[in-house]
């Protein structure tokens, strides 16, 4: 196995894949946190937030808990790494980048709102109301959707 010592080598494909595979549970928390935020910012209709009486930004706090674990994990790893000891504060770039991602997602949709794809409940429900096969008709009868075509 090749040991990379330079800063640029930390970002090669093999190192990134190895890092993700070795620490898969912590990366799951990262994907979960970012997924929740991205779904809430990009897909939830703005009117639903207004109906609930809360601003969209108040729901962004749901990503803080899982994301904090990831940032702390990588900050401690960077601090204790012998391999990164000569890099000074550069060794904290990865934890800093991880911490910035939620703000980048939030501001991306604030600056470019036309990228939002708001889910509309009526078309989604309507897609399940048309029964074209016998199995579909049986499911519709079981869930009381008969006559909603």
Q: What is the pTM of this model?
A: 0.60
Full domain range(s) for residue 125? 120-149
Q: Are residues 135 and 68 in the same domain?
A: no
In a domain, 2, yes or no: no
On whether both 86 and 61 belong to a single domain, the answer is: yes
CA dist list (Å): 137 to 133, 143, 147, 149: 6, 10, 10, 11
Regions of the chain with pLDDT less than 70:
1-11, 118-137, 139-140, 143-149
The pLDDT score that the predictor gives to residue 72 is 92
Residue 130: predicted pLDDT: 55
Look at residue 124 in the predicted model and tell me its pLDDT. 46
Tell whether 99 and 74 lie within a shared domain.
yes
In which residue are the tokens 């609930």 written?
52
Query: How far is Cα 10 from Cα 97, in angstroms, rounded to an integer?
Result: 14
3-state DSSP assignment of residue 49: helix
In a domain, 1, yes or no: no
| Whether 131 contacts 149, CB under 8 Å | yes
């Amino acid at each position: 196995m090749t040991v990379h010592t330079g800063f640029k080598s930390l970002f090669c494909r093999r190192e990134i894949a190895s890092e993700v595979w070795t620490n898969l549970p912590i990366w799951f928390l990262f994907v979960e946190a970012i997924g929740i935020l991205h779904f809430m910012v990009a897909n939830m209709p703005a009117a639903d937030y207004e109906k609930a009486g809360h601003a969209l930004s108040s729901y962004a706090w749901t990503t803080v808990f899982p994301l904090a674990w990831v940032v702390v994990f990588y900050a401690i790893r960077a601090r204790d790494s012998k391999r990164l000891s000569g890099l000074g504060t550069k060794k904290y770039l990865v934890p800093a980048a991880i911490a910035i991602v939620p703000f980048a997602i939030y501001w991306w949709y604030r600056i470019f709102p036309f990228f939002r794809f708001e889910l509309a409940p009526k078309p989604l429900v309507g897609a399940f109301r048309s029964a074209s096969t016998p199995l579909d008709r049986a499911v519709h009868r079981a869930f009381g959707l008969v006559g909603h075509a």
